[in-house]
Amino acid sequence: MVRWALLGLLIPLFGASSGDYLSIKRKFDLIESDRLRPGTRVTLTPRELNAYVANEVHEYAPQGVRNTQVELGDGLASGSALIDFLKLKQVSGESPSWVMSKLLAGEKPVRVTARIRSGAGLAQVDVERVEIAGVVIEGKMLDYLIRNFLIPHFPEAKVGEKFELAHNIDHLDVKPDAVGVVLGR
């Protein structure tokens, strides 16, 4: 089960420990128990998020994706990784043409910046910018990448549309130093 659609955007960089992993597992268990009182704020630190991903990355990053990292900002999450798009296509059972295989082969540094808005139990993730090997992608080409690469590999991802937050979460407060999960309802 995907914890939340946003978790894939919250993959931090360095410095996790087993204590951080146990801490975030307890926090997730508390949130998922649906027993926290409205107004409770659960803080997920970058170190905890990193520890979680380091221990469970196989569920979130398919073959062809490695070295995932995130930087948090005010309402923003920028994630980066090394991605082999050819491997991603092959994992999904597709056989690209010879020309496409030459264009897609090899790891490329990819950086995605998304704005995260939430409130009243709903959230929306809007991809603002994608950069692949230094080339900025936007507009119709960005829409194409989301439809043909992101959604096929993460069909539960909701991009550019509102979705309901689970477990009585009212909103997510994304800041540079942490993500606050605020319970409501």
Strands 122-132 and 65-73: unpaired
- Beta bridge partners, 152, equal none
Which alpha helices (H) appear in the chain, and where do they start and end?
A: 18-32, 46-60, 85-91, 98-104, 139-145, 151-153
Identity at 106, one-letter amino acid code: G
Which pTM does this prediction carry? 0.76
Per-block mean pLDDT, blocks of 10 residues, the chain (185 long): 43 57 95 95 88 66 74 87 81 77 86 94 94 92 87 85 96 96 90
So where are the chain's domains? 5-183
pLDDT of amino acid 103: 78
- Cα–Cα dist 49/17, whole Å: 11
pLDDT of amino acid 15: 43
